[in-house]
């Protein structure tokens, strides 16, 4: 019968189809990969071409000596044009060497206020002065070199413990790293890690607790030894040992430098020379612990609330 396949022909046909399907599938795969690759490459080039928002002014200067007087003058700030102001017309003077605690409810803008000093964001109005120079006129690198930062959520990168501390000063010797870790009360827990200072931390390395991470971050600042310190206390609960160790090293760290602590712990607040209370309206109250308790305002309320927890 014409037009029908006998068995050998059918098998030959099926074999041919099987052989042909693979190259077609490969071709399909290749075009898909090619398109994805090109799209990824274009995006990569776009990202490389983005200019940072915040750059040095043309005539930016590098101050020879930084004392650490920080002055917010009528500062307004909002993250985006369509979002509300975090601050409006806020003024605050911090003298060189002073220890100031910043308190206020969650989301009020404490971290934001502090991130304006190293110019992570640009103020929308008003200005911030460092020893009477507008920070916009100071070279960014010089400005940030003079500020030590301990963040609320510490960022550690993949690498060893020593590498992570050395981030505070890339030229530091091993002995200096150990000395900084000791001052930060981190030496003992580091020595207890599998490989001590050479222990790998990060994605595949050992996991550190929040308090241990903050202590590494404090060691970085000891190594950097800047005239100004911004310390954003972790909001999450720390283990008892970490809390005491951090409190002790903070007191040592604050010696002889302008220190702003975003304080979540009563022990820190009580030690401050001045407490600045931030509310929706801006700076609501300022004074020592005793003065503010006597005033019976926002701080006294916050304090009593924490006591009752």
Ligand X SMILES: Nc1ncnc2c1ncn2[C@@H]1O[C@H](COP(=O)(O)OP(=O)(O)OP(=O)(O)O)[C@@H](O)[C@H]1O
Contact between 112 and ligand X by CB under 6 A: the answer reads yes
CB of 176 to ligand X, least distance (A): 32
Q: Of the ranges 108-116, 123-131, 202-210, 267-275, which one interacts with ligand X (CB under 6 A)?
A: 108-116
Instruction: For residue 142, give the nearest of 130, 132, 154 by alpha carbon.
Output: 130
Q: Cβ distance 262 to 268 under 8 Å?
A: no
Q: Which among ligand X, Mg ion, none contacts residue 106 (Cβ within 5 to 8 A by kind)? A: ligand X
Region of 79 on the Ramachandran plot (φ > 0 left; ψ -120 to 50 alpha; else beta): alpha
As a whole number of angstroms, the distance between CA 234 and CA 185 comes to 17
Site residues (CB under 6 A) for ligand X, limited to 124-153? 152
Q: How many residues does the chain have?
A: 309
Site residues (CB under 6 A) for ligand X, limited to 72-101? 79, 86
Ordered alpha helix ranges (H), the chain: 7-49, 110-115, 140-145, 161-166, 174-183, 187-191, 210-224, 240-254, 266-271, 289-295, 298-307
Contact between 106 and ligand X by CB under 6 A: the answer reads yes
Q: Cβ distance 70 to 95 under 8 Å?
A: no
- Per-residue contact track with Mg ion, 103 to 122, x per CB under 5 A? --------x-----------
CB of 153 to ligand X, least distance (A): 10
CB of 107 to ligand X, least distance (A): 4
Nearer to ligand X, 198 or 306 (CB): 306
Q: Of the ranges 11-19, 106-114, 182-190, 280-288, which one interacts with ligand X (CB under 6 A)?
A: 106-114
Q: Which among ligand X, Mg ion, none contacts residue 55 (Cβ within 5 to 8 A by kind)? A: none
Concatenate the DSSP letters of all residues of 229-262 into one string. EEEE--SSPPPHHHHHHHHHHHHHHHTTSEEEEE
Q: How many CB atoms lie within 10 A of CB 278?
A: 24
Contact between 288 and Mg ion by CB under 5 A: the answer reads no
Q: Which among ligand X, Mg ion, none contacts residue 108 (Cβ within 5 to 8 A by kind)? A: ligand X
Q: Which among Mg ion, ligand X, none contacts residue 79 (Cβ within 5 to 8 A by kind)? A: ligand X
- 225 φ, ψ to 5°? 55, 55
Residue ranges in contact with Mg ion by CB under 5 A: 111
């Amino acid at each position: 019968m014409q037009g029908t396949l006998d068995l050998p022909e059918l098998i030959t046909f099926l074999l041919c189809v099987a052989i042909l399907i693979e190259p077609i599938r490969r071709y399909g795969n290749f075009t898909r990969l090619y398109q994805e690759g090109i799209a990824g490459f274009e995006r990569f080039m776009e990202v490389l071409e983005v200019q940072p928002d915040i750059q040095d002014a043309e005539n930016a200067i590098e101050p020879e000596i930084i004392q650490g007087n920080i002055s917010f003058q009528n500062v307004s700030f909002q993250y985006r044009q369509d979002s509300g102001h975090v601050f409006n017309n806020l003024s605050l003077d911090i003298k060189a060497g002073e220890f100031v605690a910043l308190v206020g409810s969650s989301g009020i803008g404490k971290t934001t206020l502090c991130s304006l000093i190293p110019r992570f964001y640009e103020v929308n109005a008003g200005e911030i002065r460092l020893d009477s120079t507008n920070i916009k006129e100071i070279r960014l690198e010089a400005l940030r070199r003079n500020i030590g930062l301990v963040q609320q959520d510490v960022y550690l990168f993949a690498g060893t413990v020593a590498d992570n501390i050395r981030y505070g000063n890339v030229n530091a010797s091993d002995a200096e790293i150990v000395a900084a870790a000791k001052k930060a009360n981190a030496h003992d827990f580091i020595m207890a890690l599998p490989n001590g200072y050479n222990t790998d931390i990060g994605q595949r390395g050992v996991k550190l607790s929040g308090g241990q991470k903050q202590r590494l971050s404090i060691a970085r600042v000891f190594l950097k030894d800047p005239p100004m310190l911004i310390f954003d206390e972790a909001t999450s609960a720390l283990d008892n040992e970490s809390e005491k160790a951090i409190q002790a090293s903070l007191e040592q760290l604050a010696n002889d430098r302008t220190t702003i602590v975003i304080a979540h712990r009563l022990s820190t607040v009580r030690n401050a020379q001045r407490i600045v209370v931030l509310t929706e309206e801006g700076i609501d109250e300022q004074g020592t612990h005793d003065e503010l308790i006597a005033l019976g305002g926002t701080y006294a309320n916050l304090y009593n609330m924490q006591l009752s927890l």
